Amino acid sequence: MIVQAEQLTRDFVVGRRSARRRVRAVDRIDLHIEAGESVGFLGPNGAGKSTTIKMITGILVPSAGRLRVCGMDPVSGRRELARRLGVVFGQRSALWWDLPLRDSFELLRAIHRVPWAAYRCRLDRCTEVLGLAELLAVPVRQLSLGQRMRGEVAAALLHAPPLLVLDEPTIGLDLVSRERLRGFLHEVNTSDGVTVLLTTHDLSDVERLCRRVVVIDRGQVVTDDELGALRRRSSGPRELVVELATPSSELGLAGVPGVLGCAEEAGGLRQRVRFDAAISAAALVAEVMRRADVRDVAVLEPSIEDLIRALYARSGS
Ligand SMILES: Nc1ncnc2c1ncn2[C@@H]1O[C@H](COP(=O)(O)OP(=O)(O)OP(=O)(O)O)[C@@H](O)[C@H]1O
Ligand SMILES: [Mg+2]
C-alpha cells in the first residue's frame, strides 16, 4: 500500500490570547491507496484537502493518527520519501524563480542524483508531451501560469517517483493547457504505473483522470468509492431525451411517479424528461411510447457535477 492513513487528524490553533481556539482541519481520516491507483480528493473550500496533502508529503506533522507513505513516516523519513514522491502545488512553485526552466530541472536532477542518461530520457519525454521545448531557456518568473504548471509537473517527475501528489494542478490553466496536462497525467498513471493523488475543483479533471473519488467535508471522509460505482449508486435525477416523429408539446407525463419535469426543444420534436429512481428508464420509455410516435430515445446519466453536488449537500455544506 502506497498511502496508508488511519485516523489521521490535524488541529490548528487560531486566534490570539483569550480568543485562542483549536480548529480541527482533518478529523480522523482513513485513507488507503494502492500502487497504481488514481484518486481524486475532493471537497468544498476549507474541507481539509490541502492539510491532508501536506501531511502525506511530510510538510505538516499530524496531531494524531497513523500515516505511512511508501512505507515510511513522512516526517521522520522526509528525505528518503522525497526520492519516491513527486509533489505539485498549484499555488506554490517548486522551481527557482530566476533560473531558466532547464537549470531548475538540472538542479533537481543533482538533488535527486538522477543519472544523466535517465534524466535526459525523461526530460525529452516531458518536453515533448508537455510542449516545453521553447520554454526551457526562459526564466521561470517570465513563464505564464500555464507554462509554469507544465514545468512544475515535469519537475515533479524527473526522478521517476512512484507516487505523484498534486494539489490543484489545473488551477488557472486555459482549456488547452488543462487538457494537455490531464492527458499527460493520465498517461503517466496508466502507462508508467505512477500512483496519482490529486485535489481539484474542476470535475473534468476527475472525470478524465480518476478511477476513484474520495470526498471530504469538514475534515471527514464522506465518500470513498470508484467513480463508476458512485454513479450506479446515485439516486440523482437522470434525463430521458426523446426524439419524436411529429411535434408534440405535451406528453402528459407530469403525473407519472418519478417524473420530475419535462422540457421541449426543437419546436416540440425533442422532449427532455427528468426522472428519478422512482421509475426505471425502461418503464418511462414505455410510458412515452404509449403517448407519442417516438423516433429515438437516449438516457443521460447524472453528470459528475450532479453527483458531487448531491454528496456535498448530503453532508450539510
Ligand atoms: N496554517 C493554518 N493555520 C490555521 N488554520 C489552518 C491552517 N491551514 C489550514 N487551516 C484551516 O484548516 C481548514 C482546512 O484547510 P485546507 O487548506 O486543508 O482546506 P482545503 O480543503 O484545501 O480547501 P480549498 O479547497 O479552499 O483549498 C480550514 O478551516 C483552514 O482555515
Ligand atoms: Mg486547498
106 plus 158 within the same structural domain: yes
Provide the pLDDT for residue 187: 94
CATH number of the domain enclosing 220: 3.40.50.300
What was the pLDDT predicted at 218?
92
C-alpha of residue 238 to centroid of ligand 2, in Å:
31
Whether 99 and 205 map to the same domain: the answer is yes
Give the nearest ligand 1 atom to 51 CA.
Answer: 18
Give 10-residue mean pLDDT values along the chain (317 residues): 98 90 96 97 93 96 98 94 94 91 95 95 93 95 91 95 95 87 94 96 88 93 87 75 83 83 85 84 86 87 72 63
Residue to mutate, 51, 57, 63, 198, ligand 1, most ligand atoms under 8 Å from C-beta:
51
Residues 6+ apart with CB under 8 A from 11: 22, 23, 24, 25, 63
User: CA 154, CA 131: separation in Å to the nearest integer?
Assistant: 11
| Shared domain check, 258 and 218 | no
Q: Is residue 108 part of a domain?
A: yes
Write out the three cell numbers for 108. 533537481
Closest residue to atom 17 of ligand 1, CA basis: 50
Residue range(s) defining the domain that contains residue 242: 237-301
Q: For residue 235, what pLDDT is reported?
A: 64
Residue nearest atom 16 in ligand 1 by C-alpha distance: 48
Q: Which of 182, 212, 232 is the last residue of a domain?
A: 232
Mutate to test the pocket of ligand 1, among 9, 11, 12 (most ligand atoms within 8 A of CB): 12
pLDDT the model gives residue 316: 56
Cα 39 to averaged position of ligand 1 atoms, centre (Å): 20
| Residue 89 is assigned to a structural domain of this protein | yes
What is the CATH classification number for the domain harbouring 282? Answer: 3.30.70
Same domain, 226 and 263: no
**How many structural domains are present in the chain?**
2
Q: Which atom of ligand 1 is nearest to the CA of 43?
A: 21
The 8 Å CB, 24+ separation contacts for 132-139 are 132/101, 135/101, 136/100, 136/101, 136/102, 136/105, 137/100, 137/101, 137/102, 138/100, 138/101, 139/97, 139/98, 139/99, 139/100, 139/101
Q: What is the pLDDT of residue 239?
A: 87
List C-alpha distances in Å: 197 to 60, 84, 219: 17, 14, 17
Supply the residue whose CA is at minimum distance from atom 3 of ligand 1: 12
